[in-house]
Chain A
């Protein structure tokens, strides 16, 4: 009994004489599959991704440099304005009261929280 994929001797001989060619027989399931060409990422995609990553790094670097240059220092509140605004009497009274309070806090002779006067040597038996 001869099956579809069996080859006779003569056919074999002819096959050897022929030039190599792509297989003619394609299994059914494979043949039915849609042929999809695997797309390679285009150069445009590479350029855009690269630009985005590079942009992120540049932004990060600039931000870090900014922090480094400013030295992470505290900006006093309120920070003195370079061009002071004009004030009326009510505003002056309010600001002056605040100044008086700030000056009161700046009195270095007043320390309401000195280190607690605790005894550092509380031994049951005196240490030698």
Chain B
């Protein structure tokens, strides 16, 4: 074959293969980390939170002592305690956001675009916290450490917002996954019943049960939609624990219906 012809044909095939590989976007492809990693990260987080609490207590005592005695020795002590507690605070948050990142990576039942937005916010927060940690490491006096603390305080709201934004998506996605599973299982059960050709009266009873189950699933989907709409209504950069609580209130109703559906499908299968 003429070389001049071969290049465009090879190029065409290469483009086709690359695009064909990129095209199927599946939740499964997002999963790259196994569940134990989340559990390990959670354990590390719990340990770091304990360390933080101890350091915070020590700092409070040192600060109180410095306020009372006002000596250079006590100042030296409180400066050291401040550096330690601020480092522990950042380390705790770093591990916390890594837990959220791992959880989000494994999350099923969420829209990819929303998931990507939350993952980007988490990554940005992790980067910011790394910078803050370096700043504390380079701070060695009262003024520098108090400035580092002021910088943290000014960003605390943003960190809370990033966390609760992600937690909200996690909650909604879990409800969605359970609803999908309920729908799938109830349809499978009903199809199996129908295929067994039971008596007309039995089939009618099962049909009524299946219809009720379908209505329950529709109600759950409505609650999920409401939760989504409510979460979209909040300013994504001012998401707080209170905003999260409002979403979970709606999802609690969905959860109650899921429990009902669980019983229905069990009854239907009898």
By a beta-carbon cutoff of 8 Å, the part of chain A in contact with chain B is 41, 45, 48-49, 52-53, 55-56, 59-60, 63, 66-67, 70-81, 84-87, 92, 95-96, 98-100, 102-103, 105-109, 111-125, 127
Contact = CB atoms under 8 A, between A and B. Distances in A.
B142 A106 contact: no
A74 B111 contact: yes
Interface-centre pick from A79, A109, A114, A116 (highest chain B CB count, 10 A)? A116
Interface string B97-115: 0011001000011111101
A111 B100 CA distance: 12
27 contacts: A45-B5, A49-B4, A49-B5, A52-B8, A66-B23, A74-B30, A74-B110, A75-B26, A76-B27, A76-B109, A86-B188, A87-B188, A92-B189, A95-B184, A96-B185, A103-B259, A106-B178, A108-B175, A111-B167, A113-B99, A116-B92, A116-B93, A119-B56, A120-B156, A122-B56, A123-B149, A124-B82
State the main secondary structure of chain A at its contact with B. Answer: loop
Interface stretch (B201-209, B228-236, B248-256): B248-256
Contact of B79 (A72, A77, A124): A124
Interface string B30-48: 1000000000001001000
A86 B82 contact: no
Contact of B185 (A95, A106, A125): A95
Nearest to B85: A122
B266 interface: yes
A127 B108 contact: no
B265 A96 contact: yes
Given A74-B111, A113-B100, 12 more contacts: A60-B15, A63-B19, A74-B115, A75-B25, A76-B180, A85-B188, A99-B265, A103-B259, A108-B247, A115-B96, A116-B92, A119-B89
Contacts of B248: 108-109, 111
Nearest to B10: A52
Closest 5 CB pairs of A and B: A52-B8, A108-B251, A102-B178, A74-B112, A108-B248
Nearest to A121: B153
State the main secondary structure of chain B at its contact with A. Answer: helix
Contacts of B176: 76
A115 B12 contact: no
Contact of A103 (B2, B25, B115, B258): B258
B177 A105 contact: yes
B61 interface: no
B171 interface: yes
A71 B42 CA distance: 33
A59 B8 contact: no
B89 A106 contact: no
A100 B30 CA distance: 24
Contact of A52 (B9, B45, B149, B160): B9
**Interface size bracket, B side:** 35 or more
B225 interface: no
A53 B8 contact: yes
A100 B258 CA distance: 10
B142 A99 contact: no
Nearest to A77: B27
Contacts of A79: 180
B150 interface: yes
Contacts of B265: 96, 99
A40 to B, nearest CB: 12
A124 B22 CA distance: 54
Nearest to A62: B19
Contacts of B100: 113
A80 B187 contact: yes
Nearest to A102: B178
A45 B12 contact: no
